[in-house]
């Protein structure tokens, strides 16, 4: 592998070291070629064949770091391969390709390979290998190798059999080898290979792939460091963060929430003629936290502000209507980033356009209005009262800024059916079908015959209490007789109950540890909503399909990132067992008045404004979960509302497809209008085309495929959904839209006109009497949860507890307002942490060091003292650590450890009164009061206690003042004149020094310091320090395996006569 910098003698490797490490290259003829995801390198003049090492070096040097045109893309060549040249004849070259599809793998083989292989799609021999099948050498030989000389066929067939096995084992999704050489001796050598692996399978096969596997940017576009940064962030979070730089000097920048919505915004900008100015594609979704949103936003703002334009720039902050993401929470990080870049944004004449909706959007948009007032930035702010992309023409200057009013937080959001201009009667007219419904032969899944009712009940896998409460609130609004959630399954906490609200009352939902128990206890549950993670969802679904298929007829798989191989296996098993699938990577679905899956439809306010509590006449199917909620909004504003809607998920292989749901809707007499929101990638929309042509779908279908912007990009862009990437013929959004329109679907010119077309169809059907007038029911009222109402600022109540020392609610733990990361970065130590949590102050370093010294000198005083003794006896009685520790701590009091508080109190009072040491001693003697902190059984003036010396010297050296210590030392002079062991002992020294520390370190007033002493903090230090020793004694006794302690009888005086 030869990379940029090879010609720099100071870099490593150099040409010389490269040749030293690869001795074979000195004597072997070689091939040189770029290794940068370039296909058809031979036709592009990027192959050097049958060369010496020096010739390869010259050929590479001539091209290294130089721009090169490959078809329509120009990019820098900076990575090359040098490999052995394999001499062979043209007839030794073959072509092989493996492509994964829904049913398995398809092998394409042609007996003529190389640069002139031609249109292999048209002429290659094909072999489909089903998911449950193996590619046997015999079948490969008989099907694919018919034009290969007989003597070469056995080895080649065996090789291809092994290749398919390796392909599956390593989770490849595509592989093309052209040419693969088979010489007369039967030696097989792949000369050129292009392949793709499934990134989501990393948790399964990362070790087999190796640690060095990376996913480079396509040729023609070097990866920006910012893209790599966002990719790294995305890999470390459950949220989704994507960023692709399209034109770093472009004028139009976006920050869009949701995979589907991000494509819709890019489409609209391109459809409006600004593809050349679109600077980036990206999305953030899945409820990223404040810090993640901040880092994502500042990355985009940093790129945007890197260059200036005379005509200024625009930033579009958009998104569909979120289902579960707290909009205000994500805006916190965004607002923090905008504030940080305020000066650059003002200097660059940047205008910001916001359209956002979903949970807590009102608070989020209020925050944006306040930001506009605070910063003076040019900002226009909108909510769900405007269509998702209504801001785009405004931002691009195509309509006046004042043509759309800003979000008004005080205005009620009420959806009424739009009044469209008189629709064209030819829009919906009887169609002439090219066949009959019986001619429609698409492979359907079990989902095509499933129908949800107001009696449908489900099991929820995972302890998803918020989602379950949302489902129960929806049930109550729809006047269901009983909750749709029969039970939950959670393997980790034992069988128990969880309390939920049913309207204003409370109800209990059982939680079981196994699916089997839940199914056995709740025979009426026919749906499972599976919230298991991408790592475990395969096992839980397989268990359901294989053991409970007679009962569970529909499974919704919420997880994103399920490996494609596992998804295909799930689909095949489910179909064999007669179970329908919605997902993976879905938010679910909703049938107004009947049943709701998970978080579909969002918060209750959106359920009400989109009228999802009662059925309408329009059924939709979408890939995007976020855009499904936007469809709820669009449909409710342009018709009498939703009859049913499903988001099938954005993965390459959804468990059920568009056609499955559209046929369900077509067969539902309550449904009058069908809506399809497809997207770039895959071919599932063509089943819908065939259904339209044959008349199997007879109801009017309004359809649009997002991703039309892909044709405006010079390189392949992977959009927010895993399946949103055109890999083959007919997979572009433009191709699909054209095919749907030709088959009779009503296809708008852009997504911006989607709602208008729905309204025109609805108006025509109303005029024809096909949609009857139905009285609007009373809007149901469901009490808002206290937690959410408080977050919205609608209620308040006094707290049961108040805490001022720590806060674990944010992204990072705080001690008295200080981030835990700062505690470590500033190296505060245990003393610093104690000062924050006990005193709510960041004390100076000498003070925190002194606290640590106290803990060290009070940690232990041998096994004979009462506390240690009790701890040892309890330990030997078999008690646990906490019990043994507590038994020792309970001995701390006036006689054990109490000298600290007593010494502090006596010495401080005397010092404050201005007494002399002699007067103090005489007064204590007169009142027969023991002087606390004075006296030691062993130590004396001649044999000083080194602990006292260390503490006293440290205080004298570092403390600003030591009046209490000075007074205590004066007392010591008086007492030791009578007896040499009446010294200031360690308890007394700690006590008076600690008083001086609190009073004179500058952090407290005298009154505050005295209150802290009175509250017991000095005794707390003794408790904390001595706990270290007690735990040590506990561990020591355990280590020594000491038996139960029994006190010897000869150490007890037994007295009867008293």
Active-site annotation, residues: 721
- Provide the β-strand partners of residue 352: 315, 379
Distance CA 733, CA 724 (A): 10
Rounded to 5 degrees, what are φ and ψ at 89?
Answer: -90, 160
How many residues in total does the chain contain?
1058
Distance CA 464, CA 599 (A): 10
Distance CA 123, CA 101 (A): 19
Q: What is the three-state SS of 225-274?
A: HHHHHHHHHHHCCCCEEEEEECCCCCCEEEEEECHHHHHHHHHHHHHCCC
Distance CA 243, CA 302 (A): 13
Burial profile 942-968: b = 16 or more Cβ within 10 angstroms, e = fewer: eeebebbeebbeebeebbeebbbbebb
Distance of CA 51 to the CA centre of its chain: 50
Burial profile 1019-1046: b = 16 or more Cβ within 10 angstroms, e = fewer: bebbbbbbbebbbebbeebeeeeeeeee
Distance of CA 358 to the CA centre of its chain: 18
DSSP three-state, residue 514: coil
Distance CA 505, CA 1005 (A): 53
Distance CA 653, CA 583 (A): 9
Burial classification of residue 867, based on how many CB atoms lie within 10 Å of its CB (0-12 exposed, 13-18 middle, 19 or more buried) = buried
Cβ atoms 655, 570 nearer than 8 A:
yes
Distance CA 429, CA 133 (A): 47
What is each CA distance from 882 to 500, 861, 1031, 1042, 1045, in whole angstroms? Answer: 36, 20, 9, 18, 19
Q: What DSSP letter does each residue of 119-161 carry, written as one string?
A: -HHHH-EEEEEETT----HHHHHHHH-TTS-GGGHHHHHHHHH
What is each CA distance from 389 to 649, 701, 749, in whole angstroms? Answer: 22, 22, 14
Closest of 215, 221, 195 to residue 73, by C-alpha:
221
Q: Which long-range contacts (CB under 8 A, 24 or more apart) does 272-276 make?
A: 272/392, 272/393, 272/396, 272/398, 274/396, 275/709, 275/712, 276/247, 276/250
Closest of 571, 568, 567, 588 to residue 580, by C-alpha:
571
Distance CA 984, CA 184 (A): 100
Pseudo-torsion of CA 589, 590, 591, 593, nearest 10°?
A: 160
Rounded to 5 degrees, what are φ and ψ at 67?
Answer: -70, 145
Helical (H) or strand (E) element with 458: strand 457-461
DSSP three-state, residue 759: helix
Burial classification of residue 194, based on how many CB atoms lie within 10 Å of its CB (0-12 exposed, 13-18 middle, 19 or more buried) = middle
Distance CA 993, CA 850 (A): 9
Region of 735 on the Ramachandran plot (φ > 0 left; ψ -120 to 50 alpha; else beta): alpha
- Provide the β-strand partners of residue 336: none
Provide the 10 A C-beta neighbour count for residue 91.
12
């Amino acid at each position: 592998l030869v990379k940029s910098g090879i010609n720099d003698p100071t870099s490593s490797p150099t040409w010389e070291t490269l040749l030293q490490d690869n001795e074979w290259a000195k004597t072997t003829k070689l091939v040189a070629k770029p290794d940068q995801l370039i296909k058809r390198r031979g036709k592009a003049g990027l192959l050097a064949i049958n060369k010496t090492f020096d010739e390869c070096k010259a050929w590479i040097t001539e091209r290294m770091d130089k721009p090169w045109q490959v078809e329509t893309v120009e990019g820098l060549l900076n990575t090359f391969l040098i490999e052995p040249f394999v001499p062979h004849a043209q007839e030794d070259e073959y072509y092989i390709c493996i492509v994964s599809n829904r049913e398995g793998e398809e092998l394409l083989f042609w007996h003529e390979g190389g640069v002139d292989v031609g249109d292999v799609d048209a002429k290659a021999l094909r072999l489909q290998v089903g998911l449950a099948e193996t590619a046997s050498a015999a079948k490969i030989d008989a099907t694919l190798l018919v034009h290969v000389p007989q003597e070469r066929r056995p080895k080649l067939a065996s090789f291809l059999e092994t290749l398919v096995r390796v392909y599956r084992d390593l989770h490849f999704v595509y592989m093309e080898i052209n040419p693969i050489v088979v010489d007369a001796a039967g030696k097989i050598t792949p000369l050129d290979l292009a392949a793709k692996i499934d990134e989501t399978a990393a948790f399964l096969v990362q070790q087999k792939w190796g640690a060095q596997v990376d996913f480079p940017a396509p040729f023609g576009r070097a990866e920006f460091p910012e893209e790599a940064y966002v990719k790294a962030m995305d890999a470390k979070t459950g949220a989704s963060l994507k960023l692709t730089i399209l034109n770093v000097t472009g004028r139009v920048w976006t920050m869009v929430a949701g995979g589907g919505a991000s494509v819709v915004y890019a489409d609209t900008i391109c459809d409006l003629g600004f593809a050349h100015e679109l600077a980036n594609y990206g999305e953030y979704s899945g409820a990223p936290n404040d810090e993640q949103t901040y880092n994502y936003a500042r990355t985009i703002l940093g790129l945007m502000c890197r260059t200036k334009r005379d005509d200024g720039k625009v930033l579009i902050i958009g998104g569909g209507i979120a289902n579960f993401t707290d909009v205000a929470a994500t805006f916190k990080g965004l607002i923090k980033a905008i504030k940080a870049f305020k000066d650059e944004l003002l200097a660059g004449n940047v205008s910001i356009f916001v359209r956002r909706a979903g949970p807590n959007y009102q608070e989020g948009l209020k925050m944006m209005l306040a930001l506009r007032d605070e910063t003076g930035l040019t900002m226009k702010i909108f909510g769900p009262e405007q269509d998702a992309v209504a801001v785009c023409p405004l931002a691009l200057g195509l309509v006046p800024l004042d043509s759309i009013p800003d979000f008004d937080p005080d205005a009620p959001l009420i959806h009424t059916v739009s009044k469209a201009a008189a629709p064209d009667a030819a829009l919906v007219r009887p169609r002439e079908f090219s066949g009959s419904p019986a001619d429609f032969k698409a492979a359907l899944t079990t989902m095509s015959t499933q129908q949800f009712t107001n009696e449908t009940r489900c099991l929820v896998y995972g302890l998803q209490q918020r989602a379950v409460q949302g489902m129960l609130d929806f049930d109550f609004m729809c006047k269901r007789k009983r909750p749709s959630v029969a039970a939950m399954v959670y393997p980790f906490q034992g069988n128990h109950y969880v309390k939920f609200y049913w309207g204003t009352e409370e109800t209990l939902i059982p939680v079981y540890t196994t699916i089997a128990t839940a199914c056995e206890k709740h025979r009426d549950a026919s749906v499972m909503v599976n919230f298991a993670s991408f790592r475990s969802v395969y096992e839980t679904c397989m268990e359901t399909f294989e053991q409970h298929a007679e009962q569970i007829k529909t499974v919704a798989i919420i997880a994103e990132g399920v490996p494609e191989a596992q998804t295909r296996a799930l689909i095949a098993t489910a179909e064999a067992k007669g179970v329908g699938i919605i997902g993976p990577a879905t938010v679910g679905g909703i049938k107004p008045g009947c049943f709701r899956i998970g978080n579909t439809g969002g918060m209750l306010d959106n359920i009400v404004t989109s009228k999802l509590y009662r059925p309408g006449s329009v059924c939709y199917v979408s890939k995007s979960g976020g855009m499904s909620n936007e469809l709820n909004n669009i449909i409710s504003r342009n018709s009498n509302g939703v009859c049913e809607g499903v988001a099938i998920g954005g993965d390459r292989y959804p468990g059920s497809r568009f056609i499955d749901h559209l046929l369900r809707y077509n067969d539902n007499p309550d449904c009058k209008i069908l809506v399809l929101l497809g997207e770039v990638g895959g071919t599932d929309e063509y089943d819908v085309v065939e259904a339209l042509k044959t008349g199997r779908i007879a109801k009017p279908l309004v359809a649009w495929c997002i991703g039309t912007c892909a044709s405006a990009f010079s390189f392949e862009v992977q959009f927010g959904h895993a399946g949103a990437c055109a890999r083959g013929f007919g997979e572009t959004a433009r191709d699909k839209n054209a095919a749907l329109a030709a088959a009779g679907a009503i296809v708008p010119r852009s997504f911006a006109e989607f709602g208008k077309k729905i309204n025109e169809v609805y108006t025509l059907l109303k005029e024809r009497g096909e949609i009857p007038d139905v009285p609007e029911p009373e809007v149901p009222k469901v009490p808002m949860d206290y937690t959410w109402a408080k977050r919205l600022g609608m209620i308040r109540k006094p707290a049961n507890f108040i805490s001022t020392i720590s806060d674990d609610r944010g992204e990072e733990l705080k001690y008295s307002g200080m981030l835990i990361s700062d505690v470590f970065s500033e190296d505060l130590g245990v003393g610093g942490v104690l000062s924050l949590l006990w005193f709510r102050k960041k004390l100076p370093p000498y003070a925190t060091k002194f606290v640590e010294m106290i803990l060290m000198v009070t940690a232990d005083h041998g096994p004979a003292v009462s506390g240690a003794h009790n701890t040892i006896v309890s330990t030997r009685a078999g008690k646990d650590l906490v019990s043994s520790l507590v038994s020792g701590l309970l001995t701390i009091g006036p006689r054990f450890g109490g000298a600290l508080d007593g010494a502090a109190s006596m010495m401080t009072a005397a010092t404050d009164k201005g007494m002399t040491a002699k007067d103090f001693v005489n007064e204590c003697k007169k009142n027969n009061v023991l002087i606390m902190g004075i006296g030691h059984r062993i130590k004396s003036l001649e044999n000083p206690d080194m602990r006292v010396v260390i503490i006293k010297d440290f205080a004298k050296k570092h403390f600003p003042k030591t009046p209490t210590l000075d007074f205590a030392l004066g007392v010591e002079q008086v007492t030791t004149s009578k007896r040499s062991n009446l010294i200031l002992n360690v308890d007394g020294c700690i006590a008076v020094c600690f008083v001086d520390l609190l009073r004179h370190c500058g952090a407290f007033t005298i009154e505050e310091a005295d209150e802290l002493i009175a509250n017991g903090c000095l005794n707390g230090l003794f408790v904390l320090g001595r706990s270290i020793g007690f735990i040590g004694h506990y561990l020591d006794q355990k280590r020594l395996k000491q038996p139960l302690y029994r006190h010897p009888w000869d150490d007890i005086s037994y007295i009867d006569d008293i």
